[in-house]
Amino acid sequence: MTSSLRLRAAIVSIALFLAFIGIWHIATRGTGAVATMTPEYARLMGLTATHGKSAMPGPLDVGAKLWEHVKRPFYDNGPNDKGLGIQLGYSIARVGLGYFLAVIVAIPLGFLIGMSPLINKALDPFIQILKPISPLAWMPLALYTIKDSGLSAIFVIFICSVWPMLLNTAFGVAAVRKEWINVARTLEVGTVRRAFTVILPAAAPTILTGMRISIGIAWLVIVAAEMLVGGTGIGYFVWNEWNNLSITNVIIAILLIGVVGMLLDQILARFTRMVTFPE
Amino acid sequence: MSTFDDPFDADRKLSRSGCVCGQHGSAAEHDQAALTLRCEPAPTDERRYEGVVASAAMRAMFPKDAARRAFLKSVGASTALAAVSQFFPIKTATEVFAEQRSPEKKDLKVGFIPITCATPIIMAAPLGFYSKYGLNVEVVKTAGWAVIRDKTINKEYDAAHMLAPMPIAISLGLGAQAIPFTVPAIENINGQGITLAMKHKDRRDPKDWKGMKFAIPFDYSMHNYLLRYYLADHGIDPDTDVQLRSVPPPEMVANLRADNIDGFLAPDNICQRAIYDGVGFLHILSKEIWDGHPCCSFAASREFITTSPNSFAALTRAIVDATAYASKAENRKQIAEAIAPANYINAPVTVLEQVLTGTYADGLGGVKTDAKRVDFDPFPWQSFAVWMLTQMKRWGQIKGDVDYKSVAEQVYLATDTAKVMKEMGLTPPATSYKSFAVMGKTFDAAKPEDYLASFKIRKVT
């Protein structure tokens, strides 16, 4: 039953994909030669103007270009032109670093907030105000104070991934069942030990969920941050190709951003499953 | 105008009286010539340096110009060269001279925006002008003018490509914290244009442009001042009758296609790209507003100059050299190919070629030729800076009084650049102020307030 459902779902997926490609192909076909112009003039003009080629590339253009990128993902033609593999590597490294810093800060702080109602109340107004700020709004401030665009991008990743982790950790820690804590107390387990042996395992699924939300947001933000500061990374690649109005390359980048985002999410999802326990 | 000051030419004057380059009878005559002529490098550097060294040697031997001329006339130039070379090692001296003091910092980062205005800064990397002066320069593409400003202020970049008014604005603390910045060299002159959407092809009179939306690259840009000047000259108040938006150049073409704006005043490769893609046509070139206007500059903070004077001098030399190379029409095709790849401007070669060679499609079916569509001239005229200050004041960017002359002289390093050019054997202009006309109206840098007062349309502050 489940296998046939899976098969049917796959067929529907493929059909949807083919329909999408087909419509895309038809919608972006050129209109053929347009206005008459002298050959001398036409030589100076682009295909859009001379052959009515759609400004939006078709699936075949994108496929051909994608193959070109896949063939040589790690080329390096100087500081402003590197292969897609290298660009993705830069972005993943930035996200990794910012995210790692956020984990170091958010999880202990979340524990503190979850375990102490006093700290919870005291920090609440700050968190409530800081949480909804768009991470990119920090960018000018970061550039001004940190004075380094690479570090600023990492800071922006840090600040955007800290909140979901912090709140989820605090929530998970505060929501640990009272009975378990009371049992630990009865057995005279110390605070530190209680935190690690009782609360941490109990709150782990919630914490991991927060981390999973964070990595998604971090990956969303890095593209925008790199478009702003430039230099390296997949966001810079999008901006550079946008500069050249090369929609083909922008579409390829979008595709890859989606794939990498999915992979990051799947990794965290796997971790979450590992710590989940039946009650 | 050959800049090689041949000391073995009997008809030439070497003495410092007359004019600086020695080719004209008086300073006034030189000025006249300098207005119409630009600097070009001698055939090779070695020849050029040889000229500089030989001039010095001849000047030392014959303090009186008449005596040198008599000597040359009687023995002939080649004999004289041989004779002088015997007891003064001109070749060795030239080699010593060419070996400039080594730069304090060899690995430099220079930021640029991918537009044709940055041509000298960009091409100096692939064509080896930086390495020629012992520098290892990484030219880094940057996302926008505000980012390039911040990265240069943060010292991530040692020097950068900036819009000509930006270093003035930064030094005055307009839109940034006040940090003394300097302009050792102008990048390009001309090379911008007003592009309009295809639907306006029958609305060529600016008087009909009320209510239209225009894009400019940045508030502190020549584009902003030129467009405002042009509109105001046709009776359109740029603050109330039309909308001016600051839009990054690459987004201008997309916005024009999407009908978000009616036109823009932007660098030529953006204009040409709009034409290439069939979304716009060229209304006028910016040189029709002001022929020879500056656009972009090569800028560095004063701190960089004081901490690394030799690096700065080497950079200036490389840029001046590259600019001179770019100013020659025969090099333009090669330059277009060198700067088109994704590592640099990232644009179709056809588009860049049309901008640099000056043979271009106008978007209305015609092919036009204007060799001076964009040109390159490094000399940072201080009168340019004074003009920009008048416009900053005219449109309310500067409130209150401003000391035009001292700001211009602090930011636009005409004297230092002239010195570097002289050392390179080039001929800088004798003064740092020149008069020019914008839309037929002459600007006198000595009377900026009168000039400002003569405009009917201006922002009331």
Residues B193, B196, B199, CA angle at the centre, nearest 5°? 160
Task: Report the CATH architecture of A58-275.
Answer: Orthogonal Bundle (1.10)
- Whether residue B35 has pLDDT greater than 50: no
- What's the Rg (C-alpha) of chain B? 23
Q: B280: nearest CA in chain A?
A: A49
Each residue's pLDDT tens digit, A246-263: 889 999 999 999 999 999
Comparing CB atoms, the residue among A44, A228, A241 nearest residue B361 is: A44
- Whether residue A83 has pLDDT greater than 60: yes
Q: From CA A161, how far away is CA B53, in angstroms rounded?
A: 64
Neighbouring CB atoms inside 10 A of B274's CB total 29
Q: Please tell me which of A221-230, B194-203, B244-253 the model is most confident about, judged by mean pLDDT.
A: B194-203
- Whether residue A145 has pLDDT greater than 90: no
Q: Tell me the nearest-neighbour CA distance from B329 into chain A, angstroms.
A: 19
Each residue's pLDDT tens digit, B291-344: 999 999 999 999 999 999 999 999 999 999 999 999 999 999 999 999 998 889
Distances in Å between the Cα of B268 and the Cα atoms of B222, B247, B328, B341 are 13, 15, 18, 17
CB contact under 8 A, A239 and B143: yes
CB contact under 8 A, A147 and B154: yes
3-state secondary structure of B230: helix
CB contact under 8 A, B277 and A48: yes
**Domain-by-domain residue ranges, chain A?**
58-275
B114: chain A residues, CB-CB within 8 Å: 243
**What ipTM was assigned to the predicted interfaces of this complex?**
0.74
Tell me which residues of chain A have a C-beta less than 8 Å from any C-beta of chain B: 35, 37-38, 40-41, 43-46, 48-49, 55, 77-81, 140, 143-144, 147-149, 227-231, 236, 239-245
Which of the pair, B291 or B249, is modelled with greater confidence? Answer: B291
Mutate to test the interface with A, among B108, B343, B350 (most CBs of A within 10 A): B343
- Whether residue B74 has pLDDT greater than 70: yes
In sequence order, what E strands does chain A have?
Answer: none
Comparing CB atoms, the residue among A44, A78, A244 nearest residue B360 is: A44
- Whether residue B106 has pLDDT greater than 60: yes
Comparing CB atoms, the residue among B139, B348, B365 nearest residue A37 is: B365
Q: From CA B401, how far away is CA A47, in angstroms rounded?
A: 53
